[in-house]
Amino acid sequence: MSIILRLDRVMADRKMSLNELSERVGVSNVNLSKLKTGKVSAIRFSTLNAICKALGCQPGDILEFIDDGENG
């Protein structure tokens, strides 16, 4: 199973830059860039909450589950 981050898609839909989101959320550009490209293995609920508030979205808009057939 895989969780795919769709932050880039939601940001594009809202026409929000990485810099603007970084300022609104209080998270560095580097960390948001890692989230945007999916190069993270975890995200704090407080960060997810701040991102959803800034983008006016639900966590399910950013996170997507893909069943790749693996067990475990």
DSSP code of 5?
E
For the stretch 2-46, pLDDT in tens is 889 999 999 999 999 999 999 999 999 999 999 999 899 899 999
Q: What is the pLDDT of residue 32?
A: 94
Delineate the domains of the chain, giving CATH numbers in brackets. 2-66 (1.10.260.40)
40, 28 contact by CB (below 8 A): no
The pLDDT confidence band at residue 71, using thresholds 50, 70 and 90, is: low
Residue 37 or 70, more confident: 37
69, 2 contact by CB (below 8 A): no
5, 63 contact by CB (below 8 A): yes
- pTM for this structure? 0.87
The pLDDT confidence band at residue 50, using thresholds 50, 70 and 90, is: very high
